[in-house]
Amino acid sequence: MREVRGDPDHPVNKGKLCAKGALLGQVFDTGDRLLTPMVRDRKGAHTRVTGWDEAIDRVADAIRRNVAEHGPDSVMLYGSGQLPTEDYYLFGKLAKGFIGTNNQDTNSRLCMASAVAAYNLAFGADAPPASYEDIESADTFLILGANVEACHPILFDRIKARKRADRDGVKVIVVDPRRTRTAEIADIHLPVLPGTDVALLLSLLFEVRLAGGIDERFIEEHTSGWAEIERALKGWSAERASSVTGLDAQDIVDAARIIATNGPMLSLWTMGANQSTSGVDKNLALINLSLATGNIGKPGAGPFSLTGQPNAMGGRECGGLATTLPGHRLVADAGHRTEVEGAWGLAPGSISDRPGLTAIEMVEALERDEVRVVWIAATNPVASLPNAPRVRAALQRAELVVVQDAYYPTETGRIADVLLPAAQWSERPGTMTNSERRICLLEQIGEAPGTALPDWQIICRVAEALGHGDDFDYADTEAIFDEYRELTRGRDLDITGVSYDVLRQSAGGVQWPHPEGAVLGAAAEEPSSPRLFGDGRFPTPDGRARFHAPGYRKPAEILSDEYPLALLTGRVKDQWHTMTRTGKVPKLMRSEHEPFLEMHPDDAGHLGVADRQLVLVTSRRGSLQLRARVTDAIRSGAVFAPFHWGELWNRHAVTNAATSEATDARSKQPELKFAAVRVEPVAAVAA
Ligand SMILES: Nc1nc2c(c(=O)[nH]1)N[C@H]1C(S)=C(S)[C@@H](COP(=O)(O)OP(=O)(O)OC[C@H]3O[C@@H](n4cnc5c(=O)[nH]c(N)nc54)[C@H](O)[C@@H]3O)O[C@H]1N2
Ligand SMILES: Nc1nc2c(c(=O)[nH]1)N[C@H]1C(S)=C(S)[C@@H](COP(=O)(O)OP(=O)(O)OC[C@H]3O[C@@H](n4cnc5c(=O)[nH]c(N)nc54)[C@H](O)[C@@H]3O)O[C@H]1N2
Ligand SMILES: [Mo]
């Protein structure tokens, strides 16, 4: 067992750790670490232990044969925001540059895709402008669809401390259908009807305008598209929004008054905004609110989408999505493709102009037998994608499923044809970028067990077996970083002034941009800055931020007599995703030892459900059994279940058996926060 302690000098957490972090030392020597490569000789057979050579050959042979017979798009690589940037970058270089397919997507599709699309539309780049230090100078917090207390507990401590320092001056508005612990510190909690945030945000801007909170000068000098917004706001008074959102009109007016009059506003949001068929519109509406009130580019202000995974941001930078290339470039842009081909020493036209498949599209393509080889690294899609049983069945059709993970079994590993043992955090070096654009170097401090290898080395071995050894010949991760860094030169996220040495000298990482010549710890006006857009210039063609008018739409699934309740899904404080690590730490299991369904006493009473009773939850796709937790902390009409427990824990209690794969049209992010369900009691009250 290793001991994990916080670094008191780190600028982000000042040495504080959440329970998951503090207990992380317990996850390295578990009995289920994947120690050697394993293969299955046929579908459904037992695994057989093998060496790296056979495993790598099997992967490379399948890729080579399928590319020859069915074309490069028969291959798909599915990665994760838990890969270091170097490994993430190489995964993309192999897929997009050398296999010749843009079918490289990531679990960030389930997480950050809506924010990426909105920042690109509004600012011309995927550039979140604020920093954590803005928490200490914000007077107004608008927290929407984020349970910061459970999911970003160290940040939550900073928000609470800010509130405590000036109880009357600092105002907190929380928008969540549930009265979470985050909502408990709010001056105004707005328990919106699930999926109706766009209506609320339109109305907040409408009422902010009435209250005189519009920064006309900022709009005039630094933005375009305001006329479109004025049209979109028509009719969105608090009264009208009240009937759509289920909120008290006076609460909307009060929240708008705070935004209009109370000094710098930091808006923070996460999955309650992104995981929606209106995800991009929710993000745009949040950004619009900041732009219209001039809450951007100054201390304590900004639209600030929080990332979830440790390196969700790094993946966005290095081109980890099916639509992106390294250095905030786009697959769809011919000039961008040419630049990346040049950097990779490829002939013009080598990078395909066909858009790659996103996560949900991958499942559909598997069902049509168009994708035949899937290589999955650092994610567990059979547990984390919506409609998980469908995902399992689709993957089982593939000729070859490769799963590269630190543990076996996992829900996805169970159906893999080839299992590749990966080193994990602390067992390999690499860089990661957090929500505030801060790049940190995570040094290797221990050895990986068995013959497990860092992800980047596995990728290089497959590349070599495919005949690309010369293009994937790196001495270490620093050499990969240096190559990737060149691809940021002159881009909005320019990090040509960053190196492993600079990262080691820095006090806890460097925020981008940090071009060559930038000074560590520079002031806000310098190119290396904790805050973007301080000069009011944006990386759009005309240098202005662009307003895009959002439109309110209902969630994809319709509530009906048969499926009358909205199932929301999310997280609990002491578990991490599919529990491959936190599920092995007894102390973490104690706080929530089983999944549950939160429901309002009115709904429970109406359905004859008692607290702690087992209930059957059924959607149009599947059903599961959970223990009811009757509480008025959720609004009636909605029910909530955590998604952590997959089929390895209890195959009758898999939340993602019920969730919906409907996606936002622009971001392709699935609506994991809204499935129409019915709930019925199945057993007597537990003792
Ligand atoms: N403990 C813990 N922390 C984590 C993680 C973890 O697994 N465990 N995962 C990390 C990752 S990858 C991520 S992405 C983040 C996620 O962090 P969060 O997004 O904060 O967490 P969630 O619980 O998924 O969802 C947040 C809230 O959205 C609300 N919500 C649901 N529907 C709606 C809606 O229509 N409108 C609004 N306004 N709110 C809605 C839910 O009630 C829930 O309280 O957490 C990160 N931190
Ligand atoms: N219903 C519902 N579903 C959701 C969500 C929701 O709110 N509701 N949230 C979605 C979101 S935001 C996210 S981010 C996803 C997360 O979903 P997943 O990415 O599927 O969840 P994890 O359990 O984090 O999976 C990471 C896997 O990588 C392995 N691993 C850890 N470190 C390494 C490493 O260094 N290398 C390799 N190769 N493997 C490693 C772990 O053992 C684990 O199996 O879930 C999504 N699914
Ligand atoms: Mo996430």
Q: By CB neighbour count within 10 A (0-12 exposed, 13-18 middle, 19+ buried), where does 591 fall?
A: exposed
Average pLDDT of every residue of the chain: 96
- Give the pLDDT mean for 501-527: 82
The one-character DSSP state at 176 is: -
Of all protein residues, whose CA lies closest to atom 15 belonging to ligand 1?
308
Q: Which ligand is nearest to the CA of 452?
A: 2
Between vectors from CA 666 to CA 222 and to CA 578, what angle results, nearest 5°?
A: 115
Q: By CB neighbour count within 10 A (0-12 exposed, 13-18 middle, 19+ buried), where does 261 fall?
A: middle
Tens digit of each residue's pLDDT (9 = 90 or more) over 525-566: 455 568 999 999 999 999 999 999 999 999 999 999 999 999
Tokens coding 387? 């409609």
Helix or strand holding residue 354 (H, E): none
With bands split at pLDDT 50, 70 and 90, how would you rate the model's confidence at 524?
very low
What's the CA gap between 129 and 641, in Å, rounded?
A: 33
Per-position DSSP letters for 280-315, written without gaps between them: HHHHHHHHHHHHHTT-SSSTT-EEEEPP-STTHHHH
Can you give the pLDDT at residue 55? 98
Tokens coding 452? 């497990």
Q: Which ligand is nearest to the CA of 107?
A: 2
Amino acid, res. 330: L
Can you give the pLDDT at residue 507? 85
- Using the atom order of ligand 2, give the atom closest to the CA of residue 570: 7
Q: By CB neighbour count within 10 A (0-12 exposed, 13-18 middle, 19+ buried), where does 593 fall?
A: exposed
Q: Which ligand is nearest to the CA of 648?
A: 2
Q: Which residues line ligand 2 (CB under 6 A)?
A: 80, 82, 107, 110-111, 271, 275, 308-309, 377-381, 383-384, 404-407, 410, 422, 424, 455, 569-570, 577-578, 580, 643, 655-656, 659, 672
Tens digit of each residue's pLDDT (9 = 90 or more) over 25-79: 999 999 999 999 999 999 999 999 999 999 999 999 999 999 999 999 999 999 9
614 C-alpha to center of ligand 3: Å?
A: 29
Tens digit of each residue's pLDDT (9 = 90 or more) over 15-39: 999 999 999 999 999 999 999 999 9
What's the CA gap between 508 and 443, in Å, rounded?
A: 12
Other beta carbons within 10 Å of 652:
13
The one-character DSSP state at 617 is: E
Question: What is residue 237's three-state secondary structure?
Answer: coil
Tokens 């939550």 belong to 156
Ligand 1 contacts CB of residue 179 (under 6 A): no
Tens digit of each residue's pLDDT (9 = 90 or more) over 626-652: 999 999 999 999 999 999 999 999 999
235: Cβ contacts below 8 Å, ≥ 6 apart: none
Pairing of strands 545-546, 302-305: unpaired
- Give the pLDDT mean for 434-439: 97
534: Cβ contacts below 8 Å, ≥ 6 apart: 297, 298, 524, 525
* β-sheet with 302-305: strand ranges across: 188-190, 171-175, 140-144, 265-269, 302-305
- In 3D space, the residue among 385, 343, 337, 339 whose CA is nearest the CA of residue 363 turns out to be 385
265 C-alpha to center of ligand 2: Å?
A: 32
Can you give the pLDDT at residue 522? 59
With bands split at pLDDT 50, 70 and 90, how would you rate the model's confidence at 687?
very low
678: Cβ contacts below 8 Å, ≥ 6 apart: 562, 563, 564, 565, 617, 618
Tens digit of each residue's pLDDT (9 = 90 or more) over 322-353: 999 999 999 999 999 999 999 999 999 999 99
Share of the chain above pLDDT 70, in %: 98
Beta bridge partners of 598: 629, 640
- Using the atom order of ligand 2, give the atom closest to the CA of residue 655: 1
Tokens 């630190």 belong to 406
User: Does residue 685 register a pLDDT over 60?
Assistant: no
Helix or strand holding residue 618 (H, E): strand 614-619
What's the CA gap between 612 and 625, in Å, rounded?
A: 12
Can you give the pLDDT at residue 519? 82
Can you give the pLDDT at residue 529? 67
Tens digit of each residue's pLDDT (9 = 90 or more) over 113-166: 999 999 999 999 999 999 999 999 999 999 999 999 999 999 999 999 999 999
What's the CA gap between 510 and 505, in Å, rounded?
A: 10
- Give the pLDDT mean for 608-616: 97
Of all protein residues, whose CA lies closest to atom 28 belonging to ligand 2?
378
29 C-alpha to center of ligand 2: Å?
A: 20
Per-position DSSP letters for 634-674, written without gaps between them: B-TTEEEEE----TTT-TT--GGGT----B-TTT--B-TT-
User: Does residue 684 register a pLDDT over 70?
Assistant: no
174 C-alpha to center of ligand 3: Å?
A: 20
User: Does residue 7 register a pLDDT over 60?
Assistant: yes
Handedness of CA 563, 566, 572, 578 (dihedral sign): positive
161: Cβ contacts below 8 Å, ≥ 6 apart: none
Report whether 16 contacts 161 (CB < 8 A): no
Can you give the pLDDT at residue 686? 47
- Give the pLDDT mean for 237-259: 98
User: Does residue 388 register a pLDDT over 50?
Assistant: yes
Question: What is residue 408's three-state secondary structure?
Answer: coil
Per-position DSSP letters for 66-117, written without gaps between them: HHHHH-GGGEEEEE-TTS-HHHHHHHHIIIIIII----EEEGGGGTTHHHHH
